[in-house]
Amino acid sequence: MKLSERVHDASKKLAEHAAFSVVLLPLHSGLLWLVAIVATYFATTGRALIYQNPVLTAAVAFATFPALALLLWGVVVRVRKRKEHRRRHAENELIRAMATNSGLVGFCYQDRQPDISDRWAECAANLAKGTEISIAVFTGAETFIRAGDPLFDFLNSYTGRIRILLVKPDSPAFRQRIEDLSGGDPHEATQYEERFRRQLNDAHVFVRSLRRSPALSVECRAYDHRPIWRMVMGSQYLWVQHYRRRETVFKTPAYIFSRHPASSLYYPLEHVFNSRWAAANKSLLFLRDENGHVIDNMPDGAARPEVA
C-alpha cells in the first residue's frame, strides 16, 4: 500500500471519529441539562410533590436513572473512542516516521495490475535521472531480457553505465535455487533448469546487443551465492524484492527506497550490491548465444578460447 493511501485511511478514520463526536456531544449536553432541570425542580417547588404524589416520584426516578445510565455509557464510549483514536494516531505516526527515516517511498505487489505497471514506469523514470544503473537478478527474466519486460525498452534507449549481476550457471547457487522451487521433485527440477538456462542465454544475448550502442558502457558479472535480493538501483532510487525459498520472486512485494535521508536503507543495500559486484568474477560467464558462440564480458571481436 502506498504511503499516500495510508495517510488517506488515517484521515478518513479521523473524520469518522470527528463525526461521532459531533453527534454525541449535543446528546451529552442535552442529558446534562435535563438532569440539572430535574434536580432544580425537586430542590424547589417539586419537593412537596414527592410526599403528595409517590407515583410521580417513582416515575421520575425510573426516568432519571436510565438517563443517567445512558449519559454514563456515552461518556465511557467517548473515552474509549478517544483512546483508540490516540493509539491509532500514534501507530500511524510511528509508521510514517519509520518509512520516512528508512527512505521508503513506495510499496507494491508484483502480481497486481495495473499498480505494478505504474510502479515500473516510475522506476524507469527515476533511473533515467542518473548516469549509472546497477541490476542484481537471478536470470533477468521478467525484468529486461525480452520485449515486454518492464525495463527492456528503457535499457535499449538508456545512455550511461549499466552493471548487471546474474547467477553463475551450474554453480551451487544455481542448483540450490532449482531445489528450493522444485521442492525436490525431479520432473519440476528439470523444467526449472531448462527454463533458467534459456533465460540466462537470453540475458546474455540482450547484454551483447546493448554493447553495440556507443552511448552505453555495459558490464555483466556472475555471482555464485544464494540469491537474496532482486535489485534495480539508480543514483537516487532503489527497487528491491526478496527471493523467498519455495516461491518465485513475482509473488514477493517490491519496496522502493530513496537515497534521502541519510538513514535510508538505500545505503546498506547499495553496499550489498557493491560488495557482491566486487566479489563476482566476470570470467565465470560461459554461455552460448543462438549461433553457438561463447558469450562473456570480452569486447565484441576479442579473441576468446572456446569453452566446452
**Which amino acid appears at position 281 of this protein?**
N
Choose one of 65, 86, 102: the last residue of a domain.
102
Residue 277 lies in a domain: yes
Measured distance CA(198)–CA(140) in Å, rounded: 11
Mean pLDDT of the chain: 77
What is the predicted pLDDT for the residue at 308? 28
Average pLDDT over residues 304-308: 31
Same domain, 233 and 130: yes
pLDDT of 304 strictly over 80: no
Residue 176, CB half-sphere, CA atoms under 13 Å: how many? 14
Residue 50, pLDDT score:
56
Sign of the Cα torsion 43, 46, 51, 55 reads negative
What pLDDT does residue 270 have?
94
Give CA–CA dist 287/292, Å, rounded. 9
Q: How many domains does the chain have?
A: 2
Judge whether 193 and 178 are in contact, CB under 8 Å: yes
What is this structure's pTM? 0.66
| Domain-located, residue 308 | no
- Asked whether residue 303 is assigned to any structural domain, the reply reads no
> Which pLDDT belongs to residue 267?
95
pLDDT 10s digits, 19-60: 555 555 566 556 556 665 666 655 555 555 555 666 666 666
The C-alpha cell that represents 22 in the structure block: 459531533
Host domain of residue 29 = 3-102
By DSSP bridging, strand 237-242 and strand 253-258 are: antiparallel
The larger pLDDT score, comparing residue 2 to residue 196, is at 196
Q: How many Cα atoms sit within 13 Å of 184 on the Cβ side?
A: 0
Q: Are residues 55 and 162 in the same domain?
A: no
Give the DSSP H or E segment for 108.
strand 104-109
Looking at the structure, tell me whether residues 181 and 266 fall in a common domain.
yes
> What does the alpha-carbon distance between residue 230 and residue 241 come to, in Å, rounded to a whole number?
5
Nearest partner of 106 among 250, 256, 285, 301, judged by Cα:
256
Boundary residue ending a domain (55, 82, 102) = 102
User: What's the whole-number mean pLDDT along residues 170-182?
Assistant: 89
Cα–Cα distance, 128 to 106 (Å, whole number)? 18
Q: Is the dihedral of CA 225, 147, 109, 102 positive or negative?
A: positive
Query: Does residue 300 register a pLDDT over 50?
Result: no
Whether 278 is covered by a domain: the verdict is yes
> Are both 173 and 79 inside the same structural domain?
no
Peptide bond before residue 114 is cis, with ω within 30 degrees of 0 = yes
Q: Has residue 128 been placed in a domain?
A: yes
Q: Tell me how far apart the alpha carbons of residues 129 and 123 are, in angstroms, rounded to a whole number.
A: 10
138 and 94: one domain? no
> Is the residue at 282 inside a domain?
yes
The whole-number pLDDT of residue 237 equals: 92
Residues 149 and 208 in one domain: yes
Distance CA 40, CA 47 (A): 10
Same domain, yes or no: 128 and 11: no
Query: Over the stretch 180-233, which tens digit does the pLDDT of each residue have?
Result: 898 889 999 999 999 999 999 899 889 888 888 888 888 889 988 888 889 999
68 and 186, same domain (yes or no): no
- The per-residue pLDDT for 233 is 95
Distance (Å, rounded) from C-alpha 203 to C-alpha 220? 10
Query: Average pLDDT, stretch 164-182?
Result: 90
CB distance 168 to 223 below 8 Å: yes
Same-domain status, 75 and 187: no
Same domain, yes or no: 165 and 274:
yes
CATH code for the domain of 155: 3.30.870
State the Cα–Cα distance between residues 162 and 160, nearest whole angstrom: 7
* Residue 265 pLDDT level (bands cut at 50, 70, 90): very high
**Residue 222 forms beta bridges with which residues?**
166, 281
